Amino acid sequence: MRYTTLGRTGITVSRIALGTMMLGAWGNKDHDDAVRLVHTALDAGVNLIDTADMYSAGESEQIVGKALKGRRDDVVLATKVHFPMGDDPNRRGNSRRWIRRAVEDSLRRLDTDRIDLYQIHRPDPTTDLDETLSVLSDLVREGKVLAVGSSDFPAEQLVESRWIAERRGHVPFHTEQPPYSIFMRGIERGVLPTAERYGVGVLTWSPLASGWLAGRYRRQEPLVLNDFRRDLIAHKFDQTLPGNVRKYEVVEELVKLAEEAGLPLTHLALGFVLAHRAVDSAIIGPRTVEQLTDLLAAADVTLDDAVLDRIDELVPPGTDLNPADADYTPPHLADPALRRRNRG
């Protein structure tokens, strides 16, 4: 396993991190097997574990807490807050009121006295960013949280967060966690250069593009989706969208490229993500120990320029193969009223 420093935090993390979204009701429901998966990752040298309060409604955090008993000090533990945790409209978002409650809930489920990296899972247009950074700074000063980060924040909000932190005396975001893969390269335009400019650590998620870059979906085979993909991310497989149809074509070309490079497709996909100079760690989200073992074998893969150039030809830098794959759309793009003159 290779290691690097996470941004300017001084924290050393493994270049491959374990994401735990698939541990619990959304994926692996067997807690003992899920704990075994976490232990397999730790034994292989992974020291960064990433979860979130909303993964399987807190169940993922509970599993991680079980798995880290006796090993907590060896792990950089990251979790996130933002998405709804119940029907109460105040049990969500990025307000001081909710974050104060949510961090205590996460600490309890994780069975720990501190969170190494506490991340804001998505932007919240209803909450002033100053409010969010203020409460995060309080948590850092209290020792409940050691570093703070964002996830899926556009470049302009990363810059705004730095501006606010400097002028208000807040702790700035230390990290950003965006989606990044051969199919999702949009962050190369603004997010990655901005993170590099300000020394923000980058943890990327979905390097296999929801299974597309595992070779799981091929044109000659029927499209079979599990409950999670069918119910929560169906737009990434909708065959009425040209970008999803294009995925089949690119997968076939990538399979050929991987064979020429003497690599499994999964290793080509991970190697691509880790090749970017701004990326510190790639988060993988296996459901089984077998999937984990395959991905861990990619830790030492380094792609040469010829392979990277060929990938650039298939999916140009800074582009998303299917724009609908984006997991965060700014309100001014989602709501027509915010783009039109007030006629009242």
| Structure confidence by residue, pLDDT tens digits, 147-157 | 999 999 999 99
Instruction: Kindly tell me the burial class for residue 49, based on how many C-beta atoms sit within 10 Å of its own C-beta (0-12, 13-18, 19 or more).
Output: buried
| Residue 53 and residue 60 in contact, taking contact as beta carbons nearer than 8 Å | no
The pLDDT, as a whole number, for residue 335 is 85
| Residue 243 and residue 212 in contact, taking contact as beta carbons nearer than 8 Å | no
What are the CA-CA distances from residue 261 to residues 52, 225, 267, 306, 311 (Å)? 36, 29, 10, 10, 12
Task: Give me the residue label for tokens 């429901």.
Answer: 29
**What would the two tokens of residue 218 be?**
């091929």
Classify each residue of 78-106 as buried b or exposed e, where b means 16 or more C-beta atoms within 10 Å of its C-beta: bbbbbeebeeeeebbbbbeebbeebbeeb
Confidence of residue 337 (pLDDT cuts 50, 70, 90): confident
| Structure confidence by residue, pLDDT tens digits, 179-220 | 999 999 999 999 999 999 999 999 999 999 988 898 887 776
- Residue by residue, DSSP assigns 307-339 as HHHHHHHHS-TT-BSSGGG-S---HHHH-GGGG
Percent of the chain with pLDDT over 90: 82
Above 70 in pLDDT, residue 269? yes
Report d(CA 300, CA 96) in Å as an integer.
42
Confidence of residue 286 (pLDDT cuts 50, 70, 90): very high
Return the active site residues.
Answer: 55
Task: Give me the residue label for tokens 């100053």.
Answer: 130
pLDDT mean over 100-124: 98
The pLDDT, as a whole number, for residue 307 is 97
Distance of CA 43 to the CA centre of its chain: 22
Mean of the per-residue pLDDT values of the chain:
93
Q: Which of 55-69, 140-154, 212-226 is the least confident region?
A: 212-226
* Model pTM score: 0.93
